[in-house]
Structure 1
Amino acid sequence: MNVKLNSRMQLLILFGLAAGLVTIAQSIITTGVVYLMSDFSVSSTQAQWSYSAFLLVVGVMIPLSAYISRRFRARSIFFFSLIIFLIGSVICYFSTSLITLIIGRVLQGIGNGIIMPYVQILLLRTLPEEKWQTYMGLYGLIIGIAPVLGSFIGGFVITFYGWRALFSFFTVATIILLVLGIFFVKDNTPTEDYPLDYLSVILSVIGCAGVMLGFTNVADYGFTHYLVILPIIIGIISLILFVKRQPKLDKPLINLSILKNKYFLVGTTFICILFSCLNGCTALIPIFVQGVAYNSAIISAAVMLPGGLLIIAFNIIGPLLTNRIGIKKVLIMGCIVSIIGFATMMFYTQDSSFEFMTITQAIRLIGAGLVLMPATTWTLTMVSDKVEDGTAVNNTLRQIFAAIGSSIVVVIVAVLAGGAIDHNTASVVAFNQTSLILLALHVVMLILTIVYIDDKDKIESAKK
């Protein structure tokens, strides 16, 4: 028993470290978008694909998480995902064009999309349901520290050594993890002969990529251009075919019937809105601080650091508060704090001080930190008997909306600014208007919480 326990702990620790590493890769490039625009002579929306493509691929990979967790052992998953991530890091380091860089980022995203949901599935399989909030908070701490420290350190690294140095770090760190895995990743996780429906995979890839590409092209071509309309139409048709195909399969790629659970649907909607706004701001704030307010990458990273540290802290505080006062009060509190944060962003100008931007971003991220893990865990408890399917559906939709959000928020500002984000009044007004839109979305989250979300035992009592 002790041998099995030690083996499982080693497995969780190494997967946790791997999750931290691949999470750093997700957002660290955002502090270098302005440099990519200069080095590759591309627009902000084009350079933003270095971030958006990563998120999109993660969203595409997560539907496979239920299949992967059932079909392969943890050791195989660990080595395959990290080797793919390593190859992507090397390609990014040597890239001579934005296209090459994006190819490397796609490979990094594949590694991330395999590791992240699998760690969550391992935790939920291993722990009793009454401990999910606490340990999911700890998991949130691990994946929360990574992007925050990554963005802050990334700002310094990019300023003094260039953006390629980021990928040399990923290369070395991944090699170290692979070596550790050879000695310590030994497990007997169960597997089953679970079939993979290749047509479903193709439809999901085309669907997600098409919608994303169409929305990303809006800023460069306008809403009526064929490079906007055609990808969106193809994407929507593919997603419709994907959704219709799943109920016909004995073992679907992703069990969408789980969305018939009203509370799981509400929780997933809440999380999708949250991640869309959160990742949209992750992409937008560095562009505003550097491109509109004319500050350095270091200042941009420093603006986000306190809020990033606070979201880490509240990833722990949120679940603990939920255990004490209930899910509804915590989510209401978090939504109100976030609304205040977005309201203050409506007063940003070209001359906004470092202190003002730092404090207001901290407020926004405290709200996000309060609700992030409690909402995720509550949603999964609504389908606790189908944790693999619940994790796959929830994480897939979350990441797709995160990818769309990271692109569409920048597109909205660019369109409202007249086609490009620059050091001018039009860009400031556009940023303020976009902040109002994000505020309104958080009001929707608040309404969902008040009307539908409550502790599981109260919901079950009301059913009786």
Structure 2
Amino acid sequence: MTSNSASACTWGAASAQDAARACVERPHLAMMGLYLGGFIGLFSESALNVALPQLTKVFGITASLAQWMVVGYMLVIGLVLPFAGILMKWFRTRSLTLFAIGAFFVGSLMSALAPSFGVALSGRLIQGIGTGLVLPIMFAVVLEVFPASQIGGAMGLMSLIIMSAPAIGPSLSGVILGYFSWRALFFIFAVITAVGLVFTAHYLVSPFELTRPPVDAASCVLSCLGFGGVVLGFGLSSLLGWGSPAVIGSLVVGVVALVVYSRRQLASDSPVLNLRAFSNKRFRVSATLVMISFGITLAAMYLIPQFAQNGLGLTATLSGLLMLPGGIVNAGVSLWSGKLYDRVGAAGPARCGFAISCIGAALMLFTSTDTPIVYLIAAHVLLMVGVPLAMSPCSTNGLSALPEEMNADGSTILNTMEQVCGAVCTAVATGMLSAGDAVGTSAGLDTCAAATMGSHYGFTFVLILAVIGLLLSLGMRKASR
């Protein structure tokens, strides 16, 4: 049974005051399409990295051109995400979700059947549209369909999706590519999104009132230039280098456009993205901690396989598999930390999480070319305990601090910051890795030793992120919830 009425729904609620805002008898069924869409969107973000060498051989292209399957995908997500909030005010949530998951489905089939690289890339860009819409919709809807006492657990499940999907991407895709071609990955994406379409069509409700505010065309252009420029600039930096005119130009245009865009949103009565959410200190601090957590995850996910292959000499398949225990632990902690928020709030879990992340990152600095695989797995597991322990409670804490009418904007802001931070942190980690490798090579170290030094440079960056997160979490109120 579902209803879009404003009356309180007491399904699963401890009291009328605890009731969900939208009446849904089985909220997890209502969310299932979004869960699947969010998981496969983020899974594909890292899973495709393993398939790039096959793409270069099949289409006869360079590695730099093949990287656009990843860079282009992140670019489109960065362009689409900021518009999700206002789109939810113009279109019914169910229709918008069907469009988003449908776009990912169509893009997956295009890439799977692509006769040329251009068609495969076009399909990948269409996938980005779907992911850019699904993520903020998922966060916004969960606050409406679950009773207040269950929101922490529900957010924990979404944290599991966000954190574990990219973490297990290299492992599972490595296994799939060991038996099938790269096209199989896209067919699997299509099958999962098809299931998501069925769940969405049958169970998802549209809990938001359609206010249809006026849309400022200038803000839309500035949003594309700002978020697109920053993501493109950092994405290209690992391919062209920081001194490239294309990188510098993209970043300058992006930063300037974001400054103008932000001023325009704060002065507007009908902003494309309501940045006034940042005036709420609880949301501001929590959003920053979520961003740092996501940055730690993506940077570590990039650095550990690089060290395993280039520093320890492991195969690509084994490098992916050694990350699987951390991915499994990540999933369990994500669920548990969401329920922990319902009991103790966000401050305690956030502090413990960042402290554990500091220990895991510090252990990475003591690795060498002779480091046992078990040691590397243990350090990675610590990171995968620490990050979700902080991230899920902080996500819930930040969004719960906003009034109901700002839910869509808050979820859009969180997801936009995560994707932008992910691109930035991955690029910085890549640069640090290359810089350390170059220093080691110039010092006369062998290939493995130089790669290990580069990894240490990269993990120093991860440790700095974890320390910053820990210091910021100390300023949270103990009963923050």
TM-score range, shorter chain: 0.7 to 0.9
**Identity across the alignment (%):** 26
Deviations 1:154-208 (A, max 9, x none): 1111122232210121123333443555555576764232333333222222222
- Structure 2 CA distance for aligned equivalents of residues 288 and 210 of structure 1: 30
Tell me which of 431, 437, 440 is aligned to 1:411. Answer: 431
Tell me which of 17, 26, 33 is aligned to 2:36. Answer: 17
Whether the 8 Å contact between 1:155 and 1:300 is mirrored in structure 2 is: no
Structure 1 residues 450 and 154 mapped into 2: Cα distance closer, same or farther (>3 Å)? same
Structure 1 residues 241 and 95 mapped into 2: Cα distance closer, same or farther (>3 Å)? farther
Partner of 1:450: 474
Structure 1 residues 348 and 32 mapped into 2: Cα distance closer, same or farther (>3 Å)? farther
- Structure 2 CA distance for aligned equivalents of residues 261 and 125 of structure 1: 20
- Structure 1 CA distance for aligned equivalents of residues 358 and 131 of structure 2: 30
- Cα distance, 1:77 vs. partner? 1.5
Partner of 1:27: 46
Tell me which of 219, 225, 238 is aligned to 1:200. Answer: 219
Whether the 8 Å contact between 1:201 and 1:253 is mirrored in structure 2 is: yes
Partner of 1:461: none
Partner of 1:460: none
Deviations 1:102-154 (A, max 9, x none): 44332212101111211221110223434321221133334555445543321
Partner of 1:426: 450
Partner of 1:362: 381
Within the alignment, does 1:168 sit opposite 2:192 as a pair? no
Output the TM-score relative to the length of structure 1. Answer: 0.88
Q: In structure 1, what residue type is equivalent to 2:460? A: L
Tell me which of 448, 453, 460 is aligned to 1:436. Answer: 460
Partner of 1:227: 246
Tell me which of 394, 397, 413 is aligned to 2:414. Answer: 394
- Structure 2 CA distance for aligned equivalents of residues 147 and 418 of structure 1: 28
- Structure 2 CA distance for aligned equivalents of residues 255 and 62 of structure 1: 13
1:124-139 aligned at under 5 Å gives the runs 124-139=143-158
Within the alignment, does 1:210 sit opposite 2:229 as a pair? yes
- Cα distance, 1:222 vs. partner? 4.1
**SS of 2:420 mapped into structure 1:** helix
Q: In structure 1, what residue type is equivalent to 2:268? A: L
Whether the 8 Å contact between 1:7 and 1:187 is mirrored in structure 2 is: no
- Cα distance, 1:97 vs. partner? 6.7
Greater relative contact order structure (CA < 8 Å, 6+ sep):
1
Q: In structure 2, what residue type is equivalent to 1:223? A: W
Within the alignment, does 1:375 sit opposite 2:409 as a pair? no
Whether the 8 Å contact between 2:34 and 2:200 is mirrored in structure 1 is: no
**SS of 1:91 mapped into structure 2:** helix
Q: In structure 2, what residue type is equivalent to 1:448? A: L
Whether the 8 Å contact between 1:293 and 1:423 is mirrored in structure 2 is: no
- Structure 2 CA distance for aligned equivalents of residues 266 and 343 of structure 1: 24
Q: In structure 2, what residue type is equivalent to 1:337? A: I
Whether the 8 Å contact between 1:54 and 1:108 is mirrored in structure 2 is: yes
Output the TM-score relative to the length of structure 2. Answer: 0.85
**SS of 2:396 mapped into structure 1:** helix
**SS of 2:323 mapped into structure 1:** helix
Structure 1 residues 240 and 107 mapped into 2: Cα distance closer, same or farther (>3 Å)? same
Whether the 8 Å contact between 2:238 and 2:427 is mirrored in structure 1 is: no
**SS of 1:383 mapped into structure 2:** coil
Within the alignment, does 1:283 sit opposite 2:307 as a pair? no
- Structure 1 CA distance for aligned equivalents of residues 272 and 94 of structure 2: 22
- Structure 2 CA distance for aligned equivalents of residues 284 and 393 of structure 1: 27
Deviations 1:405-433 (A, max 9, x none): 22332233123323999954322211101
- Structure 2 CA distance for aligned equivalents of residues 217 and 143 of structure 1: 24
- Structure 2 CA distance for aligned equivalents of residues 166 and 176 of structure 1: 16
Structure 1 residues 48 and 452 mapped into 2: Cα distance closer, same or farther (>3 Å)? farther
Within the alignment, does 1:335 sit opposite 2:354 as a pair? yes
- Cα distance, 1:290 vs. partner? 3.2
Q: In structure 2, what residue type is equivalent to 1:401? A: C
Aligned length: 456
Structure with more of its chain in helix, by fraction: 1
Which is further off, 119-128 or 299-308?
119-128
Segments of 5+ residues of structure 1 without an aligned counterpart are: 458-464
**SS of 2:475 mapped into structure 1:** helix
Whether the 8 Å contact between 1:8 and 1:187 is mirrored in structure 2 is: no
- C-alpha RMSD over aligned residues: 3.0
Partner of 1:154: 173
**SS of 1:443 mapped into structure 2:** helix
Which is further off, 95-104 or 395-404?
95-104
Which is further off, 378-387 or 254-263?
378-387
Partner of 2:135: 116
Q: In structure 1, what residue type is equivalent to 2:453? A: V
Deviations 1:284-307 (A, max 9, x none): 333333344332332122111111
